[in-house]
Amino acid sequence: MVLAAGMGKRMRPLTATQPKPMVRVAGKPLVDHALDKLAEAGISTAVVNVHYLADSIEAHLKERKEPAIVISDERDQLLETGGGLMRAAEKLPDPFFCLNSDNIWLDGPRNAFADLSTFWDADRMDALLLLVPHKGARNFTGMGDFHMDAHGKVSRRKPRKIAPYIFTGIQLIGKRLLRDAPEGAFSTNILWSRAIEEGRLYGVPFTGQWFEVGTPKAIKPTEQALSNGE
């Protein structure tokens, strides 16, 4: 699943007349960077949720040959990340990859999706997050998101402390994570917190380069790095 329904407020003014997934970086819309990676990994179908300026995203996605696109329509209500997963759940396999539509990354020695697949263990995990250390996170200036123990089990950053890993926006989710979910709009963080309490949220370190492209000022340095193959 590709999450593409957000309002893109941090990317204003570029998102005043276009949804964030359609903002162009290095010659193509952000959403195509994500979908191209899925196609390269051999993933045949992607569910894409839409809300803000949904018609433009749908029209663009109709031109794609692979992966095949299935739309999860949120025009009636923006459901946030967790609610978006719930609306699309019947369209998704178990487990399924989930990624943000504004993700740009360069793989390391192995494909990111192959790394997640290799480490996945449905008996122990509800979700497996792709986590990047600070040295591999370009344009990122935050304090990090998670700690990870020697077995890959994840815990959250403590208040006013730095955590060594940043969530890339890419994960592998078992449908067990979605059980007994709230109705309507809610954040996936609610489901993650329960998984942490149950010892079922895991991470795998990403060995490539990941680009935070959340604001207009991040576009140029990202394009420069991609053109140099960094």
Question: ∠ CA(72), CA(77), CA(82), 5° rounding?
Answer: 65
The per-residue pLDDT for 230 is 57
User: 64-102 burial string, b = 16+ CB within 10 Å, else e?
Assistant: beebebebbebeeeebbbbbbbbbbbeebeebbbbbbbb
DSSP the chain: -EE-----GGGTTTTSSS-GGG-EETTEEHHHHHHHHHHHTT--EEEEEE-TTHHHHHHHHTT--SSEEEEEE-TT---HHHHHHHHHGGGS-SSEEEEETT-EEE--SS-HHHHHHHH--TTT-SEEEEEEEGGGEET--S--SEEE-TT-BEEEPPTTS--SEEEEEEEEE-GGGGTTPPSSS--HHHHHHHHHHTT-EEEEE--SEEE---SGGGHHHHHHHHHTT-
pLDDT average, residue stretch 86-102: 96
Cβ-Cβ contacts under 8 Å for 87 (sequence gap 6 or more): 49, 72, 74, 79
pLDDT 10s digits, 97-141: 999 998 899 998 889 999 999 999 999 999 999 999 999 999 999
The per-residue pLDDT for 202 is 98
- Compute φ and ψ for 143, nearest 5 degrees: -100, 5
pLDDT average, residue stretch 58-86: 95
Q: What percent of the chain is modeled with pLDDT above 70?
A: 99
229 confidence band (pLDDT: 50, 70, 90):
low
Examine the pLDDT at 183 and tell me if it is beyond 70: yes
Distance (Å, rounded) from C-alpha 116 to C-alpha 173?
10
The per-residue pLDDT for 227 is 87
The per-residue pLDDT for 103 is 87
> Across all residues in the chain, what is the average pLDDT?
95
The per-residue pLDDT for 13 is 93
Examine the pLDDT at 152 and tell me if it is beyond 70: yes
pLDDT 10s digits, 24-47: 999 999 999 999 999 999 999 999
pLDDT average, residue stretch 181-187: 96
Examine the pLDDT at 172 and tell me if it is beyond 60: yes
Q: Which residue has the tokens 């051999």?
A: 42
The per-residue pLDDT for 78 is 94
Name which residue leads in pLDDT, 229 or 168.
Answer: 168
Q: Which residue has the tokens 């970086």?
A: 25
Beta bridge partners of 97: 172
pLDDT average, residue stretch 181-194: 97
pLDDT average, residue stretch 158-166: 95
Report the predicted TM-score, pTM, of the whole model to 2 decimal places.
0.94
Tokens representing 24 are 């162009």
